Amino acid sequence: MNSRSRAAAVAFIGLWTLTAAAPLAAQPAKTAPATHVTQDQIKEFIAQLPHDRITDRPMRAVDVGGYRVGVFAVFRPKDSPQDAIYHDTNMTEILYILEGSANLITGGTIPDARPPARPGGNYTGTRIDGGTKRHVVPGDVIITPGRTPHLWADIEGDMSYLVFRPDPEGTLPLK
């Protein structure tokens, strides 16, 4: 095959590929509708949480096609007892601090970890060895991968925050 024939063949294949793929590209992808949680809904939801203990409740949990994503609201009183914890799941937690400040210790190990009371539950202990301590304030975002130990310390005031939980295992109940 000479260079002119080769160029013509390449041009034909390229044109055929574009033409054959065009009908597929013109069709919109099937998607799920967006989920909207308003600022007012968040404020109202947190105001209704019990404020005498640590509360972590789902606001929404949706199937986004192949996995689920949950939006949770947490209220953490200043004087609540704190345990070192890690969740027995691959689910990442993305925290967005709304109110309050504290030190958050992540990573390391929990040397005295107690096993969860139920499958998929939480390992708990009294401290973390070898973790990283950071001071968190309103507006901060913290991404904690699944099975990563974490511990709240030196809480300076009542805290409220959102937790976004992408769930690759699909265990979150839909809400």
pLDDT tens digits, 105-150: 999 999 999 999 887 789 999 999 999 999 999 999 999 999 999 9
CATH number for position 123? 2.60.120.10
Q: Is 17 helix (H, G, I), strand (E, B) or coil?
A: helix
From residue 107, how far is each of 6, 23, 36, 67, 131 by CA, in Å? 59, 49, 32, 25, 5
For residue range 30-67, list pLDDT tens digits in order. 666 899 999 999 999 999 999 999 999 999 999 988 88
DSSP state of 129: B
Is there a domain that residue 24 lies in?
A: no
Range(s) of the domain holding residue 80 = 39-167
Q: Is 159 helix (H, G, I), strand (E, B) or coil?
A: strand
pTM: 0.80
Is there a domain that residue 77 lies in?
A: yes
DSSP state of 82: -
Domain count within the chain = 1
Q: Name residues whose C-beta falls within 8 Å of residue 153's C-beta, 6 or more positions apart in sequence.
A: 82, 102, 103, 104, 105, 133
DSSP state of 41: H
Q: Report, as an integer, the average pLDDT of 89-106.
A: 95
